[in-house]
Structure 1
Amino acid sequence: MTGTGSLEELREREYLYRSEVNALRRQIYTGPVAGRSATLLGELARREEELGGLAAQRARAALRLDDELRGPASTGLDVDVQLRMTHVPTAICHLFDPARQPFVSVRVVNAEGDAIRRVRVTSYIEGYSARAVDTVELDCAEEVTIGQFPTLFSDRVRTITEMTAATLNVLVEDLDGRAEFHTTRVLRLLARTTAPLAVIDPSTQLEIDLSRYLGAFVTPNAGEVMSFLRDVAAVHPSRRLEGYQSGMEQVEPQVRAMFTALKQAGINYVNSVITCSPDDGGTRQRVRLPRESLTDRQANCVDATVLMASLLEAMSLSPAIVVVPGHALLAWETWRRSDEWRYLETTEIGSATFEEACNAGELLVRQYREPDEAATDLYRLRRWPLRRLRATGITPME
């Protein structure tokens, strides 16, 4: 899909097309498995690609406009502050590496040609965070860019149940007392129960994929999850859960037992399709923690995926979270570090057999390009093995 126009026209075009794609998502993902034909899934995959092209076109137009409006501030120091996230994912931001995913980037240039400058950069979210501080020494005409992510106060974050406005302060000080730069930016703090699958980087107007951080919502050590393993073992033919200790043929029966136990517990699918808007900071989804899904006896696609992944990880199996545009499903490794995967459509927990749910998952995956854990394209399939997420520091949030 091609076309040009003003930023407002491109936003409107993307919004309307995204609405059409969301309607098709609902038709597919909330309907019966029998209705998910390869033709319909192929049409959705094609439209997702076109939507990605529209999003990229809108991002380029927004970036051009931003470049036209931006100007340097100079007091002997040229300072440029770039907010990298307008919507802060409070549930997972403690896992971010400021070097790779800074919340704010501050570029400082020593504009003087005859003096070395000692500069301190400080940032904090008023009332919600500690201060992030970096001190650098700049030679004549030297430039440095500093990325910071102030540490949020955990007790304050727990009080955020809905999206909340906050103020970021950025202070750049010359330690010799000759110059000072202080600015503020308005941002939004997302609720702790919000899983941000993507955020928009205002400096590039491109979406940053955060879907891997769904791994933080996989909580195998939660008491409710560990207790539910008794119900899983009770429906297993051998009444034992051994992970990969037995033969390869013993892996699938354990996954089947988990699926059966959840059905018997009355876990039902609740319709909640992932949506996003070019103006709201990216893609996000309210997520029940696994213990909450077990208590509430209901789950959407993401809820059910992190619940099942939690149970499989607690059983010493190797699950993966699979994300496609507007949807999530489960994968499990057929043998220890084999990198061979089976897929399960988690929305079928209340209405289909285990075989039907697996067939639906396999059919969906085939409609997208081969999954790639290193992919950055939000409009393709991404598979995030929990064993790899844990190795990169994405740990359970509780």
Structure 2
Amino acid sequence: MQVSASSFRIWNLVIVLGAALLGCALLRGVVPADTQSPPSVQAEQSTQTAQSLDLNQPIDVEKIQVDYLYRSDLITIIYPLYGSILDDFTIVTLTNTNPSAVRIKVLSEVQGYTDQSMDTVTVSGNETLEVRQNPRLISTRIENLNVQQPAQFHIRVAALQQGEEKIILEGTGETLVFARRDFPWGIPGMSEAETFELLAAMVTPNDPKVEELLRAAADYTESGSMWGGYSGVEDDEDGEVWERLEAIWQAADEVYDLTYVSTVVTYAPGDIQRIRLPRETLEQQAGNCIDLSLLFASAAEAIRLEAAIIGIPGHAFIAVRTDQVNDRYYFIETTLIGQTSFARAVEVGAETWREVAESVENGEPNYNWLTIAAAREKGILPLPWP
């Protein structure tokens, strides 16, 4: 069953993704500069003159000021987005009011949860430089992190001269490490639609577990194969899109024995949703509406079909475009997996869409449409698998 969504325009969901500092804590270096800082620049944009690169001149650490920001919350499930979609975990501003250049080493980490991030930069005389760091998560430490834990952020900044280090600043501060499956619906500095769009990172078409699902689904197609892309036929009149989606549904049901487990989805700012990634849904043979939507969107994207996730109050379901010409979709109620046929799941999905289409079009609170391909163009890429 096909339902027209031609009146629906996704343009109102175009998002300007900016710096979203989640509960940032600001700590200022204890050694102030004696002059006003010039405008900040990125470390990689720094240019040095021959005179400023005389690193053998005596260093006066009293003339080096360090300011830094770090996140007071570490969201592990979307950690790869720090430094791209989300702002960097740590931003260190170095101001050198010495007349000559200084080599400075910056180290930061979340103790026990990340590796140590290290940068060594040259800061010219009377220059301000920014160093942005995203310490890498220790996968073995995060893997079994099922509840959020308090942690200590540690930073160390030192001037280097003739092989010796002169400590400029060393400090610690509190941060909160989220459990590996916890996703916050409210992120300070980001709109509801921007936050919802981050779900695209959890659509993982290249995960080997998703590829295994597609291999199993191939046995349910007439040709015994699973192919990618659209055939060019409008409105899926040759049934190729339907055939593949139905095959994925049957494999998920009969081979993986997937079932729906009820979990409340609120989308309320400040609430945290525990989310299974597609591989976990397959391994655990169960998922809620978000989990199952992420899984089926992953399978659809893997075979180059345009998928979207629709969020409404307390629920989520998916849409898969029928062709590349018309604005028409198969709406799929994924929570019916293991209970009914694919055809019935599409009928129910279509009924739900008719009920909520106007609210989604109008951008009402808790009504969101996320096109995975559009999110990819903005840099929200799939999370890496273990």
Q: TM-score, normalised by structure 2?
A: 0.66
Q: What secondary structure sits across from 1:161 in the alignment?
A: coil
CA contact (8 A) 1:122 1:132 kept: yes
Give the match for residue 295 of structure 2: 307
Whether contact under 8 Å (1:244, 1:336) holds in the other structure is: no
Write the deviation string for residues 290-345 of structure 1: whole angstroms up to 9, x where unpaired. 34434544321111111111222344423233445654331222224877555334
Q: Which residue of 1 aligns with 2:114?
A: 129
1:363 and 2:351 are equivalent in the alignment: no
Q: Which one is further off, 99-108 or 112-121?
A: 112-121
CA distance in 1, matches of 2:285, 2:167: 59
Given that 1:301 and 1:328 are in contact with CA atoms closer than 8 Å, whether structure 2 keeps it comes out as yes
Distance 2:328 2:299 in 1: 19
Q: Deviations over 1:203-257 (max 9, x none)?
A: x698894544434433445555444446645665776644435433232343345
1:82 to 69, 73, 77: 69
Is the partner of 2:94 in helix, strand or coil? strand
Task: Output the amino acid matched with 1:165.
Answer: P
Amino acid of the structure 2 residue aligned with 1:129:
T
Specify whether residues 76 and 285 from structure 1 end up closer, same or farther in structure 2 by C-alpha distance, changes over 3 A only. same
1:355 Cα deviation after fit:
0.9
C-alpha separation in 2, matches of 1:208 and 1:106? 30
Q: Does 1:270 align with 2:261?
A: yes
CA 252–387 in structure 1, closer or farther in 2 if over 3 Å, else same: farther
1:174-323 mapped onto 2 (5 Å cutoff): 174-176=159-161, 180-196=168-184, 199-200=187-188, 209-222=194-207, 225-229=210-214, 232=217, 241-246=226-231, 247=233, 248-249=236-237, 250-259=240-249, 262=252, 267-275=258-266, 282=270, 284-323=272-311
Q: CA deviation at 1:152?
A: 1.7
**Which of the numbers 144, 157, 168 marks the counterpart of 1:159?**
144
Confirm or deny: 8 A CA contact 1:342 1:362 kept in the other structure: no
Show CA shifts across 1:1-56 (max 9, x none).
xxxxxxxxxxxxxxxxxxxxxxxxxxxxxxxxxxxxxxxxxxxxxxxxxxxxxxxx
Which residue number corresponds to residue 37 of structure 1?
none
Change beyond 3 A, Cα 1:324–1:318: same
**Residue of structure 2 in register with 1:105 after alignment:** 91
Is 1:148 the counterpart of 2:133? The answer is yes
Q: Which amino acid aligns with 2:172?
A: T
Which has the larger Rg?
2
**Which amino acid is the alignment partner of residue 364 of structure 1?**
V
Between the aligned partners of 1:174 and 1:125, the Cα distance in structure 2 is: 22
- In 2, the alpha carbon distance for the partners of 1:211 and 1:331 equals 16
TM-score computed with the length of structure 1 as normaliser: 0.64
The alignment covers a number of residue pairs equal to: 321
Higher helix proportion: 1
- Distance in 2 (alpha carbons) for counterparts of 1:340 and 1:119: 57
Distance 1:115 1:294 in 2: 59
How far does residue 360 in structure 1 lie from its aligned partner after superposition? 0.8
- Structure 1 residue runs of 5 or longer lacking an equivalent are 1-58, 372-376
- Whether the 8 Å contact between 1:266 and 1:297 is mirrored in structure 2 is yes
Deviation at 1:191, TM superposition (A): 2.8
Counting aligned pairs with the same residue, the percent is 26
